[in-house]
Structure 1
Amino acid sequence: MGLKDNSFIRRFVDAKSKKSGSSAPGIIIAGFAACGGVLFGFDTGTILGIMAMDYVLERFPSNKESFTSSELSLIVSILSVGTFFGALSAPLFADSIGRRWTVLISTFFVFNLGIILQTAATSIPLLCVGRLIGGLGVGMISSVVPLYQAETLPEWIRGAVVSAYQLAITIGLLLAACVNQGTHQRNDSGSYRIPIAIQFLWGLILGIGFILLPETPRFWICKGKDDKAKASLSRLRKLPPDHPEIIEEYEDIKAAYVFEAQFGKNLFAQVFSRKGKQLKRLFTAVTLQAFQQLSGINFIFYFGTQFFKDSGIENPFTVQLATNIVNVGSTVPGLFFMEIIGRRKLLITGAAFMSVFQLIIASVGVASDTDASKKILVAFTCLSIASFAMSWGEAWVVSSEIFTTRTRAKSVSLATASNWLWNWAIAYATPYLVDKEHANLGSKIFFVWGGFNLVNVLFSFLFIYETKGLTLEQVDELYENVSHAWLSSKFVPSQHAFRPSSPSASIHSDSKADAISVEERSV
């Protein structure tokens, strides 16, 4: 009995569509692709722990005692500058040399070069150059890996794998906390070089994995190499190239590509079209990724060690390790909640809980400085992390499934870039907000995060459509027929909505005319 036949799995995913072949290739792809999330998570969790180490504080800061707000801001945020431009540039490489080669180049050359420079650094300038270059690699990986997954995995497991990307991020954060806990007391360069150099291993694992994996069949079809597309499908499904299911899937992909090609050139202008509610979808994804950052989660993982230290907690490294364990443990049920509760309800509920917990953290931090209040800070920080991990941590799923096939790659790239842009803004501004010589907000910073999460509740109510249980084509039908997000839960999809014989097929012709109109105006 294969994984797709497991009774527990079948409660949450629809594995009825494919019965032949093996699920193993999809699981292998998921495992290797998840390393992309580990890269992001490990770096996020490592850098602030490194900057709180005694050995580093005695050598890197200009005053040889502590980092100034400007130094702290520069070192932490420079990575996000690289990731922002890496995410924006990813479609240019992925559509020309392929998804697989883009991942290989971004890991073996770009990311690993950044790690080498960071490991060799003995001062801030070289450390920042290394983080900038490493960020370019992480940004490309974060945009292309989900695309590779979507184009290679069987439909029945695709949603769970995309959600698992967030789980990989949390595992990276936990591993970073463990490594920092093991090296922060060393009185030599190994205290910071070991955590940085370990990232080289994650890059090698991801790169070697993609050497062994095939290019996506959709890329080969786009390049007109149909035999290679069939060979790719054969490897991915562990079926002969002439197997009926391979031929059927190939014909489906080919037909979809031929239909999309009728629209003319794939121009970026179409991403910003109002037709088919594309602009609304783009606004939803870009804003969703922005609010994921503004939820305050990365303040905890970027600056948590320093925050707990400034709050008088004796062993901030241990507390940071505990918060990462909570993050990983809470992400696992979130994978299932997306399919059980649904995207819309989960995001609304998660934002509400985060807001309450963070406002409590801010209030307690302002009102008291006792041992009991410090325990409350830690407890409600963990509750806030758990709320995020089970809800907003899965925002990547929503961003990847609400676009049409034609606009998906570029739209997801813009949404990912939005995530990294706000990641940079938070990393750059937060040191000034909490530093005693500047805004000196301290625990009052959680009033800001709690306020943003109240806005998140409203945003989710107004813009997040319920897409649970819908195919990507049914999501298109949902946006075409339902005007308001709060009515989406009542939507009932029609069968074969986009086939010529269906009453809904007129959507196709309208979309084609709109696309051609956009192209003509762009010439």
Structure 2
Amino acid sequence: MAGGPSGTAEGVSNASLAWAVIMSAFAAFGGILFGYDTGTIGGVIAMQDWLNVFGQFDPTHVLGKDTNGMYLQTSDKSLVVSILSAGTFFGALLAFPMGQYVGRKWGIVASCVVFALGVGLQLDTKWTTFVVGRVIAGLGVGLVSCLVPMYQSECSPKNIRGLIVGLYQLAITIGALLAAIVLNSTKGENSHSAWRTPIAVQFAWAGILGGGMMLLPESPRYLLQRGHVDKARRALARLTNRPADSAEVDAECTEITLALEEERAIGSGSYADCFKNTELRSGLRTWTGIMLQGWQQLTGINFIFYYGTTFFTSAGIKNPFIITIIADVVNTVMTIVGINMIDRVGRRRLLLIGAVGMMVCEYIVAIVGVTAGHIAADGSVNIDAQRVLIAFVCFYIAFFATSWGPVAWVVTGEIFPLNIRAKGMSLSVASNWLWNFGIGYATPYLVDVSTKGQPNGVATAGLGVKVFFIWGSTCLGCLVFTYFFIPETKGLSLEQIDLLYKESSIINSNKYRKQMIAQNETFVHHDKVTASHDESSVDRAEKA
């Protein structure tokens, strides 16, 4: 069954743009679930009361000097931040069977229930319960991260499907911004509510998404795939604001049914098919999706949103919560800019520009940090160097938000053949969460000051701001990967993207794309032209 953020080529023709916007707004809360949690945990683990409950005391005050000697061990910090991503990895893998057997609509509702259970467990003051809560919440987020775009793509109007994919990433940034605002408003409280309130707010996001989905129809494509023709017609009637027996609904139903028959004729669409070297280069496309999502995480963006508060504190910045809010505002505003550039500038070009921009900014942050931005022995800091650090972190976030943030999701949804799109998307999103977990877990060991030799001490690399040399180098990797593996797909239908993979190299994809658009080349037209060319060649040979 086809799915993923970009959906199928058919979509649903909708006579009411307002209804499409309402549906998109409900689905966007799936992104808010992830974005808010990502933004919350970084601030929560820096709060005094949370550290009083879950942290340890350092009588020397070398660690936890800004939190009355209370600190979180590097191993515990790695665990509590990254364990959500472990849950989301398995949630993403489970999204396909959930969407296939429970359905898109009710699968999302069930995912919200799972997420809410995880949020509730995080309100407890026992370490084990808190960690288990993050795992369960991660399962819910992982399920939602696949099912929401899948449902949306199968139900949204053709002409705004690309914008809707970008809105999912925008929702993630809005969630992170909301988290920063809530954290800033509660950080001064001297009670458990300082961290419980930001966590409990997530009940609202789950309630809005789950409650909204209960009011929406099931995906007609899913219903037709399961053989529920009458239910599919009623769902189409609701989505298109037309009578169930109207000619328009009948035409939509027929079109989707024919597409399903074609999908079944292509192959079984098994997981093994995702990695086969077929004529349409399915194996290359699957690995491209998996690696693209991995490289998105290797840009280092979640270092800022997971550990930004503690990082800015270690750099001597007096109000790191405010800086985090500024970073989130930049992320949100520039994502709005980015989603409006995707169909104008192009996917490949945006990814290339973004990789270069991020690489330059991160190298500048690293160089300034190790030369003038460190804290002196007397505790003083270089204000000008701090301003440069903050400025180029914001520039770096801006480049990510306009490129690798939204574009990675769009490309992942576009590049898969119809018969493996749902499974390919599931594998790619699982890759995103796997790298998210690995980076989230490893970063404290790279950045934190080593406590080796102290009671319960942990040996770390203690890189501090030097970690940006690593992120700059991985952005160079993003640049190389994009050049050799990401085709330009701007303005092409999903079927034309299949033809592009079949007939063109990646490096020459933009040239071939322009040719396809100029000649209105599709699979049918391509076959006719090829057949005509072959017949002419035979005639010339016979005459010769």
> What is the match of residue 414 of structure 2?
401
> What is the match of residue 169 of structure 2?
166
Matched, 1:392 2:404: yes
CA distance in 1, matches of 2:218, 2:12: 21
> What is the match of residue 306 of structure 2?
302
Matched, 1:457 2:479: yes
Spell out the pairing of 1:4-43 with structure 2 (5 A cutoff). Answer: 21-43=15-37
Superposed CA deviations along residues 313-365 of structure 1, whole A, max 9, x for unmatched, are 00101111111011111110101110110000000000100000000000000
Shift of 1:132: 0.3
CA distance in 2, matches of 1:20, 1:86: 31
Distance 1:404 1:505, change over 3 A: farther
The alignment partner of 1:59 has SS state of helix
Query: Which among 466, 469, 473 is matched to residue 488 of structure 2?
Result: 466
Distance 1:495 1:254, change over 3 A: farther
Superposed CA deviations along residues 389-426 of structure 1, whole A, max 9, x for unmatched, are 00001110110111111100000000000000000001
Shift of 1:500: 9.1
The alignment partner of 2:20 has SS state of helix
Whichever residue aligns with residue 202 of structure 2, its letter is Q
> What is the match of residue 385 of structure 2?
373
Matched, 1:254 2:279: no
CA distance in 2, matches of 1:154, 1:20: 6
Query: Which among 448, 452, 457 is matched to residue 470 of structure 2?
Result: 448
CA contact (8 A) 1:461 1:486 kept: no
Query: Which among 35, 47, 55 is matched to residue 53 of structure 1?
Result: 47
Superposed CA deviations along residues 270-290 of structure 1, whole A, max 9, x for unmatched, are 111110111111111111100
Matched, 1:209 2:224: no
Query: Which among 419, 437, 441 is matched to residue 424 of structure 1?
Result: 437
Query: Which among 523, 528, 532 is matched to residue 503 of structure 1?
Result: 528
RMSD over aligned CA atoms reads: 1.7
Query: Which among 324, 328, 334 is matched to residue 330 of structure 1?
Result: 334
CA distance in 2, matches of 1:452, 1:500: 41
Spell out the pairing of 1:254-273 with structure 2 (5 A cutoff). Answer: 254-263=257-266, 265-273=268-276
Superposed CA deviations along residues 93-152 of structure 1, whole A, max 9, x for unmatched, are 1111211111010102x1000011001x21321110000000000000001111111100
Matched, 1:125 2:128: yes
CA contact (8 A) 2:119 2:134 kept: yes
The alignment partner of 2:71 has SS state of coil
Distance 1:55 1:204, change over 3 A: same
CA distance in 2, matches of 1:297, 1:140: 22
Distance 1:463 1:263, change over 3 A: closer
Query: Which among 240, 244, 254 is matched to residue 241 of structure 1?
Result: 244
Distance 1:20 1:348, change over 3 A: closer
The alignment partner of 2:417 has SS state of coil
> What is the match of residue 320 of structure 1?
324
CA contact (8 A) 2:268 2:419 kept: no
The alignment covers a number of residue pairs equal to 488
Whichever residue aligns with residue 309 of structure 2, its letter is T
Distance 1:19 1:472, change over 3 A: closer
Matched, 1:476 2:498: yes
Matched, 1:177 2:180: yes
CA distance in 1, matches of 2:12, 2:471: 44
CA distance in 2, matches of 1:459, 1:482: 17
Identity score, percent: 45
CA contact (8 A) 2:485 2:506 kept: yes
CA contact (8 A) 1:184 1:192 kept: yes
Whichever residue aligns with residue 485 of structure 2, its letter is F
Q: Could you tell which deviates more after superposition, 250-259 or 490-499? A: 490-499
CA contact (8 A) 1:497 1:505 kept: no
Distance 1:483 1:376, change over 3 A: same
Whichever residue aligns with residue 364 of structure 2, its letter is I
Matched, 1:67 2:72: yes
Distance 1:504 1:94, change over 3 A: farther
Matched, 1:410 2:423: yes
Superposed CA deviations along residues 286-325 of structure 1, whole A, max 9, x for unmatched, are 1110011000110000000000000000010111111101
CA contact (8 A) 1:114 1:132 kept: yes
CA distance in 2, matches of 1:419, 1:504: 40
Unpaired runs of 5+ residues, structure 1, are: 1-16, 507-523
Whichever residue aligns with residue 76 of structure 2, its letter is E
Shift of 1:237: 1.2
The alignment partner of 2:53 has SS state of coil
Spell out the pairing of 1:280-291 with structure 2 (5 A cutoff). Answer: 280-291=284-295
CA contact (8 A) 2:415 2:497 kept: yes
Distance 1:182 1:234, change over 3 A: same
Shift of 1:486: 3.7
Q: Could you tell which deviates more after superposition, 22-31 or 340-349? A: 22-31
CA contact (8 A) 1:79 1:135 kept: yes
Shift of 1:65: 1.0
The alignment partner of 1:485 has SS state of coil
CA distance in 2, matches of 1:19, 1:265: 28
CA contact (8 A) 2:366 2:466 kept: yes
Distance 1:181 1:229, change over 3 A: same
TM-score relative to the length of structure 2 = 0.87
The alignment partner of 1:483 has SS state of coil
CA distance in 2, matches of 1:449, 1:486: 29
Superposed CA deviations along residues 221-276 of structure 1, whole A, max 9, x for unmatched, are 11111121121111111122233332222211110111222345442211111101
Unpaired runs of 5+ residues, structure 2, are: 1-10, 58-68, 374-381, 451-459, 532-544
CA distance in 2, matches of 1:264, 1:19: 27
The alignment partner of 1:406 has SS state of helix
Shift of 1:504: 7.3
